[in-house]
Amino acid sequence: MLRAIKGLTILLVICAAAAAGALYFYEQQELTFAPAPLAFDLKPGSSLRTASRDLSAAGVIGEPLLFELIGRLHGNAPHIKAGNYEFESPTTPLKVLQKITRGDATQVSIRFIDGWTFKQMRDALDTHDAVKHDTQGMSPEAIARKLGIPDALPEGWFFPDSYHFSRGASDLAILRRAHRLMQTHLTAQWAKRAGDHPVATPYEALILASIVEKETGKASDRAMVASVFVNRLRMNMRLQTDPTVIYGMGESFDGNLRRRDLQADTPWNTYTRNGLPPTPIAMPGLASIQAALNPADSKMLYFVARGDGSSQFSRNLDEHNAAVNKYIRGRK
């Protein structure tokens, strides 16, 4: 009996050693893909067993039961992370396991540029091949309602930045991140605003910042540009800024702003209407928000482009007319 038990024990040890060797051989075997890299989408909530089956069905690994077994032996079962993964040739089952438990998912990005309109943002999202287009066919107002944007007016409510995400991420999720980041920056800068500022709400500050964004040709001029518009608001003087007129013209703007355009009344025509327009005209960057809420201390009421990206600022109409003659008419 003792001899039999000893023999069985030796046999079990040999089998265990053989199994361990087989598993080690499996986890170290070379995997190749054609074409490479091979893309695989690991769904949220996937267990190790589900991930093993899906990886096998996608051609990433061979036998799913062996992959599940090495995952459990390495203690990785609770650590599977969803995402889009790309596997290069050659690799091994162990490296695949490590990749999906580290969450080393493939990241792609999209860049929203300071001064873009909501339409330009949507165009960038709609043409991005890694984005899931959940907003297709939705109106801007419907998207704004989905995101909880006040008054369902999306213009200006997204922060320009680079956003990284896994392939297949929803455009709504990306827009939600950009909206929350704008809310965060706007709230922080509103708390630091100049004490005698003429704007009454953070939304008005956002509108003003969007104008500063579109009117600033050189970064060093930004605070002075903001001071011109703040000084005009304090005096109840019309802002008379071309970018608001262009925004109000919509698709009819052909690249040339004419005198009749300045005279055609729209809610965004700051030549025909006092105060701020009803919405932002673009999404401002952080520097424009900061300048709008803490402008330079100046008496300037006018500015004109010098032609090199910078602006000439003036305190009164006579100075401004002289600057126009020098920098605009003088160039013709």
Does 6 map to a domain? no
Final residue of a structural domain among 102, 127, 145: 102
**Judgement on whether residues 198 and 324 belong to the same structural domain of the protein:** yes
Final residue of a structural domain among 75, 102, 129: 102
Does 157 map to a domain? yes
- Please report, for residues 43, 58, 89, the alpha-carbon distance to residue 64 in angstroms, rounded to integers and kept in the order given: 17, 11, 19
Q: Which domain holds residue 44?
A: 22-102
Does 49 map to a domain? yes
**Judgement on whether residues 77 and 118 belong to the same structural domain of the protein:** no
- Please report, for residues 67, 159, 215, the alpha-carbon distance to residue 118 in angstroms, rounded to integers and kept in the order given: 46, 11, 18
**Judgement on whether residues 171 and 97 belong to the same structural domain of the protein:** no
What's the Rg (C-alpha) of the chain?
Answer: 30
Final residue of a structural domain among 63, 83, 102: 102
Does 2 map to a domain? no
Q: Tell me which residue of 176, 192, 172, 171 sits closest to 129, measured CA to CA.
A: 171
Whether pTM exceeds 0.85 = no
Please give the pLDDT value at position 331. 52
Please give the pLDDT value at position 27. 80
Does 13 map to a domain? no
**Judgement on whether residues 295 and 228 belong to the same structural domain of the protein:** yes
**Judgement on whether residues 114 and 140 belong to the same structural domain of the protein:** yes
Q: What is the CATH number of the domain that holds 32?
A: 3.30.1490.480
Please give the pLDDT value at position 6. 55
Does 7 map to a domain? no
**Judgement on whether residues 81 and 133 belong to the same structural domain of the protein:** no
138-151 CB burial, b ≥16 within 10 A, e <16: bebeebbebbebee
For 113-124, give the DSSP string: PTT--HHHHHHH
Show the tokens assigned to 93: 């089952």
**Judgement on whether residues 134 and 256 belong to the same structural domain of the protein:** no
**Judgement on whether residues 224 and 276 belong to the same structural domain of the protein:** yes
* Cis amide bond preceding 90, omega within 30: yes
Does 47 map to a domain? yes
Does 139 map to a domain? yes
**Judgement on whether residues 144 and 175 belong to the same structural domain of the protein:** yes
Encode the chain (332 residues) as per-residue pLDDT tens digits.
Answer: 655 555 555 555 555 555 555 667 678 888 887 777 787 888 888 899 999 999 999 888 888 889 898 888 888 888 888 888 888 888 898 899 998 998 888 778 999 999 999 999 999 999 999 899 999 999 999 999 999 998 888 999 999 999 988 888 899 999 999 999 999 999 999 999 998 999 999 999 999 999 999 999 999 999 999 999 999 999 999 999 999 999 999 999 999 999 999 999 999 999 999 999 999 999 999 999 999 999 999 999 999 999 899 999 999 999 999 999 998 866 54
**Judgement on whether residues 200 and 269 belong to the same structural domain of the protein:** yes
**Judgement on whether residues 142 and 266 belong to the same structural domain of the protein:** no
84-119 CB burial, b ≥16 within 10 A, e <16: bbebeeebebbbbbebbbeeebbebebebebbbbbe
Alpha-carbon distance of 288 to 295, in angstroms, equals 10
Alpha-carbon distance of 70 to 198, in angstroms, equals 66
Domain count, the chain: 3
**Judgement on whether residues 36 and 68 belong to the same structural domain of the protein:** yes
Phi, psi angles (nearest 5°) of residue 305 = -70, 135
For 83, the enclosing helix (H) or strand (E) is strand 83-87
- pLDDT per residue over 241-253, tens digit each? 999 999 999 999 9
